[in-house]
Amino acid sequence: MNYRIVWSIDSSAASEAFKMRLRVSGSDNTSTNYNWIRGATGQGGALSASGSGTSANDTSWDISAVSGTRTSQVAMDVFRPFDSDFTGYTGNWGYFDSISNFYGGFNNGSSSVTTSYTGFTFFPNSGTITGSVRVYGYAN
């Protein structure tokens, strides 16, 4: 089974970049086995890219690159988290704080271990967040 995760978040943080960890048996996987890449651009700006490098070396996936007090929208698909195989994701995001100050991007990544996961945890870099998160399961 795969999952679609959709959220709309308001932040009161100075830096609200969102991260995600996979969970199993009620505990987050905090090992350095996440890799990801993200591209982003602002209105009229050039595309910039960032990521975890050539190997899985982060303790979470970076989902969106948001800074300041912003409203964010994210839609992402998580692939095969229950399978004893690599779990991956792909998504897109956007954020804005005014009609003239908006950004968007894409991201994807995978986990380098073949664990069967039963959940996930979302969290900001710092500060607090409010909003809504919806998770939808889908299968062939």
**Contact (Cβ atoms closer than 8 angstroms) between residue 61 and residue 34:** yes
| pLDDT at 67 (0 to 100) | 60
| pLDDT at 97 (0 to 100) | 66
| pLDDT at 29 (0 to 100) | 94
| pLDDT at 100 (0 to 100) | 66
Total domains, the chain: 1
pTM attached to this predicted model: 0.84
| pLDDT at 9 (0 to 100) | 79
Question: pLDDT tens, position by position, for the chain (140 residues)?
Answer: 899 999 887 765 555 678 899 999 999 999 999 998 888 887 767 777 777 765 657 899 888 766 666 677 889 999 999 998 889 999 998 877 666 677 788 889 999 889 999 999 988 877 777 788 899 998 77
Parent domain of 18: 2-138
Rounded to the nearest angstrom, the gap between the alpha carbon of residue 88 and the centroid of all alpha carbons in its chain is 11
**The residue to which tokens 């969102």 are assigned:** 18
Rounded CA-CA distance 105/117 in Å is 26
Rounded CA-CA distance 101/98 in Å is 5
HEC assignment per residue over 85-114: CCCEEEEEEEEEEECCEEEEEEEEEEECCC
